[in-house]
Copies of this chain bind each other. A is one copy, B any other.
Amino acid sequence: MEIFLKDIEDVNNENRQYAQKRKIVGLLNKSEKPLTIPGICKKVKLSVPTGTKLINELIDDKVIVESGKKETNNGRRPSLYKVDSNFAYCIGVVVLLKGISFSVYNLDMHEVFKFQDDDFVLENTPGCLDRVVAFIQKAISTSGINPGRVLGMGMGITGRVNSKTGYSHNYFNFLEESLIDFFSAKFSFPVYVDNDTHVLGLAEQYFGKAKDIKNAFVLNLSRGMGLAIIANGELIVGENGFSGEFGHIQFAESDRLCLCGKRGCLGTEVSGYALEQNFQQQVEAGETSLLLTSRESCQIKYVDILKAAANGDSLSISLTHNLGFKLGKALGNMINLLNPGVIIIGGEFVSAKDILIDSIKSGMTHTGLQLPLRSCELIFSSIGADAASKGAAAIVLRSLQLI
């Protein structure tokens, strides 16, 4: 653990060795396959004898382990080495409007423990903050993991959060101190925070479909909407971590009033909330739907509409299609601006991907320029429900360059 936790500010030999060891561990952890000593030494620019020495020390410390010999077609077969993925852990916590989750991952990013409370409701009150702390403490104790083996905890929180300072502007904004300081004082390991959209972007960047792509968009489309932008291989959070307010771009054709106070925000037309509104409006205007047989229109949630669309409900299909087309037009503009290699649609709307894909694409061709459009792929996330959680934990590994 010393390797990861020791500061390397001072210029001296011990610290230099810690830095080199960290580089070796990072390289091994990033690599899909185990590596050989000569391979490692070449990458970290170290001679074979010194590399061997450091690797042997890391084996003594149980950070890395041997894993067989490499098959080659000439020469002596080298031994292979990989990190012991259970040597240390990182924690991902996600706080949403409804529901809170806590997951522990090993260095391989395999989930080794999960704790969840779907009844949790986020409120901007000290009581709610206490509940969050209690929830995490409970989770840690029931998990049975050794806090000394935890490299850190990343938290993804709904709302506007300054990812650099850790100050939150929507929830828990009554705190004098930053969320990072607040939570750091409660736990023995480092704490990091960011908002839910950014955290979802990190998940796609490191474990999802944006893995080897340096410029990508990750759209978080559920009840609300946000856009994580990855450029030059890094998540762009902006000067204060407020980037990604794609839902508040004035781009809708209608001029519905948005929660932010402005009119014409894209989120008033493209979001789960908007889908519900549009559904109700159409029903009031006389349209009909299979969904109405079981419930009142005001009780129908956007996930129901998406499901109905997938099942062939005509009104739901047309509304979803419309939404996709508008989204596509907005995305086409963003393509002109940032020239991403891939756009990944994540969030609850993934369930309607068969309907959305073509409508988004046709919207994109309306606004996108040929050259950047041609090189931009549109795909849907396949990372699953715990993407945000993985992304939150990824903040920890990123800060240690283990990823």
Tell yes or no: A46 within 8 A of B by CB: yes
| Residue in A16, A45, A244, A338 whose Cβ sees the most chain B Cβ within 10 Å | A338
**Contact segment of A67-75, A231-239, A280-288, A310-318:** A231-239
Segment 339-354 of A: residues with Cβ below 8 Å from B = 339-341
Task: Write the A225-256 contact mask toward B (1 if CB under 8 angstroms, else 0).
Answer: 00101011010111111111110111100000
Contact of A238 among B45, B160, B332, B338 (CB under 8 A): B338
Interface check A369, CB cutoff 8 A? yes
CA distance A180 to B178 in the complex (A): 48
In the bound assembly, the distance between CA atoms of A339 and B229 in angstroms comes to 12
Q: For chain A, residues 284 to 338, give those with C-beta under 8 angstroms from any C-beta of chain B.
A: 329, 332-334, 336-338
Residue in contact with A339 in the complex, picked from B169, B237, B246, B262, CB distance below 8 Å: B237
A243 touches B337 (CB 8 A): yes
Q: Of A242, A262, A341, which is in contact with the most chain B CB atoms at under 10 Å from its CB?
A: A242
Q: Nearest Cβ in chain B — how far from A327, in angstroms?
A: 14
Bound CA span A366–B250, Å: 9
Copies, count: 2
A330 to chain B, nearest CB (A): 9
Q: Is the CB of B229 within 8 A of A337?
A: yes
A78 at interface (Cβ–Cβ under 8 A)? no
Tell me if A385 is interfacial: C-beta within 8 Å of chain B.
no
Instruction: Tell me, in angstroms, the Cα distance from A333 to B199 when the chains sit together.
Output: 22
Contact yes or no, A238 B340, CB < 8 A: yes
Instruction: With CB as the reference atom, state the residue of chain B lying closest to A11.
Output: B45
- Are the CB atoms of B333 and A249 closer together than 8 Å? yes
Q: Is the CB of A329 within 8 A of B246?
A: no
Nearest B residue to A373 by beta-carbon distance? B242
A215 CB-CB contact with B under 8 Å = yes
* Residue A214 at the chain B interface, CB threshold 8 Å: yes
Instruction: Provide a sorted-by-A list of 22 A–B residue pairs whose CB atoms are within 8 angstroms.
Output: A11-B42, A11-B46, A16-B45, A160-B371, A169-B371, A229-B337, A229-B338, A231-B232, A232-B232, A232-B234, A237-B339, A239-B340, A239-B341, A239-B376, A240-B371, A240-B372, A241-B339, A246-B337, A249-B336, A250-B329, A250-B332, A250-B333
A→B interface (CB under 8 Å):
11, 16, 41-42, 45-47, 160, 169, 213-215, 227, 229, 231-232, 234, 236-246, 248-251, 260, 262, 329, 332-334, 336-341, 366-367, 369, 371-372, 375-376
